[in-house]
Amino acid sequence: MKSQKSFSRYIKITGCILTCMCLPSIWAQTTEHKADHFSNISFLHLTTINGLSYSGVKDICTDHSGNLWIATGNGLNMFNGKTVDKYFAAEYPQLQNSNVIHVTCDSSNSIWVLTAGGNVTMLDGKRQMHRIALYKNKLFVKTRWILNSLQGGIILMTSEGFYRFDKQTQLATSDSATIKNFSHIAVSGFDSLQKKGYRQIFYFDDDCYLFVTEDAFLKVNFKTKKLERRYEFPQCTALVKWGQNELLAYNRKTKVVEAINLESGKLDHPFIKLKDQLGQQVTAQFLYAERINGDEYVLTTYTSGIYIFNKRTGTIYNYKHSIADLTSLGNNTQTTIAVGRKNWVFITANPNGISYFNRNDFIGTQTVFTDGSGNGYDGYVAGIATKDNNTYYIGTSEGLLEWKRNTNQTTFINFPGKNGKPLLNKELVFSILIDSDERIWSTTHSQGIIVMDKNLKLIRHIKNDVRGKFNVKLQQSRILVTGPDGLIWAGGGNGVCKINPRTFEVDNCVNTPLIRLDSFYCNSMFFPDNENLWIGTGQSGAFHYNLVTKELKTMTTRNGLISNQIFSFNKDPAGNIYIGTLDGLNILFPNGRIKVITHKDGLLMDRVEALLPDGKNRMWIGNDIGLACYNLTDSTISTFDERYGLSIYGFRLGSYFQTPNGEFIFGTPKGVQYFHPESLLSKKITLNALINKIETNNIASNITGTTTFE
């Protein structure tokens, strides 16, 4: 699968050229996913390496278009999901100072910027810059902080009091706004507190802010213009509004999180007995929190990464930085949070820039598997199996591993072989099967078949050897399936055989018509019912074997197949047999008719590697560059590729797996992806046109921050 790209376009309009980018945007609309919520989050990162002007991020916010505005110690940055625009005082004198302290977006989509020295700059909706020049008695009035509410608008907290921006006033003809554009707000009871120092200035609701000191919270209501109340809560850090009149705070003295009822003063401790997905007590030092959606909150910590807490379910998950995983957090000390459109969450990770993710990204990705001893794997996955949607057994190019999805813990599995050499050392593991006794069977490239129990203890090593009744005749074991007879059927080089899971005695099928398959490489097997078996070969077509009559039939390009290289089988509720091949899909109807579907009919490509039904009268078709969904009712085909979040590396042949709850999990050249297929159908993809420059014979102008064009 090709990597995601942006596409530059030049559009001519009466002598002008508009430079734009059509982006398969990371802000594409997502829908609430139905996957299990212990899925791991894959973090993206914005650093100086990929565009950020400075790694010392001090504040962030998002505008109404979903762009991220970033205050750094060296310039203001705007990130649109692909590129970063940078603003420096040397190029934009209205900015006044490149040391940006605070940034916020108001209800009119204007960006307000506070820089060192108390200077304020406003970028209006057209991104024209305006210097805010507050002078009183010819003396410059420094701004301490910018307060922002939807109804109250922008209020500047200065050493001389509060000033509300009047959106109805006309800005000066120059690039400045003056004190005439503001009205003074006298807050009753706050005059003597105006010049005090505050640990936090905390937005509580659209009318009120909390001014947090070392000893108390001061609640100021800007609608009534009164100091509403003083709360004696010493050594507390305000985190997030928790209810109608509740505040979630971290008590730095007792080192616990408190839910404070600001009306009654009653305290609750929602995290006191809570354990994360690893079973660890929640004891972090919390710094900030934001609500992501109706039930979920994200919390940052001093040295413990981030937590996501679901208030409805009472569950909490901890995410930390891993040196071996590029998709983990940038580091474990997080500060500010911004929640953008469509559930994008941005978190500053000084000095490592910004880490961000989409909470509604329904596709889970695990690219690196690591254990507690420093061992790791980040290569391709060939085989997958699970019975409980949590404990996965994964075959790789270097052996076998067990992965606990809820805790993200990995165990690398190996057993001693001949001369003490590890049995699975650098051994490719193809197919994995879990039998009715929860024993794990796996095929290997050269070591035959390995059987172990759920405690990862070796039970049996079935070798590739024609001699002996406990060996398989296969030159290379490739595929394992459970037959309707309760036996384990194996296929590979030199045909097929079956194994008694109780005694491990092998039947190499020498006294049946299946002996004909000894000349072929059998890479797929499928039991559509108790009487029939379909077998796919690498170059010699498909074989249909009736278990009752012992009749063996051959299907090749001579009698209707589109290709003799077979990858997969499945069936639909009507009993039609689906055969995936190198050159397309064949559907075999009971009346003998054969339907052919290729890229000409809507597939992303001809190659059909996997066939997975979703229980809703649809068949999903997997190949190297994505998925297609074939609707059995009307024969329509929908396709899905990297724009939907699918792996840019593609999927591995034979590594398509459907969990007991209907979820799909696929192996890729870089780990696994997992998701519920229904989510792909409800996701909308949009291409955002980002027009950023206009050129004519005598003008070359960036649109942002220019007055050349309206």
pLDDT in tens, 126-135: 888 999 989 9
pLDDT over threshold 70, residue 709: no
Look at the domain 431-684 and name its fold: Methylamine Dehydrogenase; Chain H (2.130.10)
Lowest mean pLDDT among 146-150, 405-409, 551-555: 405-409
Give the global pTM: 0.74
Which tens digits make up the pLDDT trace of 219-247?
999 999 999 999 999 999 999 999 889 99
Q: Alpha-carbon torsion 600, 602, 607, 612, what sign?
A: negative
Whether 157 shows a pLDDT value over 70: the answer reads yes
C-alpha R_g of the chain: 31
Q: Is the pLDDT of residue 17 over 50?
A: no
Is the pLDDT at 90 greater than 80? The verdict is: yes
* pLDDT at residue 654, rounded to an integer: 81
Looking at residue 18, what is its pLDDT?
40
Residue 190 has pLDDT above 70, yes or no: yes
Which residues on neighbouring strands pair with residue 74, listed in sequence order? none
Query: Which residues are within 8 A (CB) of 77 and not within 5 positions of it... i.e. 6 or more apart?
Result: 51, 52, 53, 69, 70, 84, 85, 86, 87
Q: Specify the range with the lowest mean pLDDT, choosing from 17-21, 220-224, 424-428, 655-659.
A: 17-21
Q: In what order do the strands lie in the sheet with 68-72?
A: 57-62, 68-72, 75-79, 84-87
- For residue 679, the surrounding DSSP H or E stretch is helix 677-681
Mean pLDDT score across all residues of the chain:
88
Closest CA to 102 of 43, 145, 134, 44: 145
Confidence tier at 20 by pLDDT (50, 70, 90): very low
Lowest mean pLDDT among 235-244, 421-430, 522-531: 421-430
> 467: buried, middle or exposed (CB in 10 Å: 19+, 13-18, 0-12)?
exposed
479-483, 490-494, 654-658: least confident range: 654-658
Strands 542-546, 532-537: pairing kind = antiparallel
pLDDT at 105 over 50: yes
Q: What is the pLDDT averaged over residues 280-304?
A: 94
Place 1 in a pLDDT band, splitting at 50, 70 and 90: very low
Query: Exposed, middle or buried, 492 (CB in 10 Å: 0-12/13-18/19+)?
Result: buried
Between 95 and 691, whose confidence is greater?
95
What pLDDT band is residue 686 in, cutting at 50, 70 and 90? low
How much is the pLDDT for 37?
A: 41
Query: Which residues are CB-contacts of 633 (< 8 A; sequence separation ≥ 6)?
Result: 617
Tell me, what's the pLDDT at 175? 64
As a whole number of Å, the end-to-end CA separation of the chain is 41
Query: What's residue 174's pLDDT?
Result: 62
State residue 394's pLDDT score: 95
Give the least confident one: 3-7, 40-44, 345-349: 3-7
Picking from 685, 60, 670, the residue whose alpha carbon sits closest to that of residue 349 is 60
Please state, in angstroms and rounded to a whole number, the distance separating the CA atoms of residues 134 and 114. 13
**Token pair for residue 247?**
């505040």
* For range 455-481, the mean pLDDT: 90
pLDDT value of position 278: 84
Q: What is the pLDDT of residues 615-648, one digit of tens each?
A: 899 999 998 888 999 999 999 999 998 888 888 8
For the chain, the structural domain boundaries read 1-25+686-710, 431-684
Q: Which residue's structure tokens are 């509300």?
A: 164
The answer on pLDDT for 34 being more than 50 is no
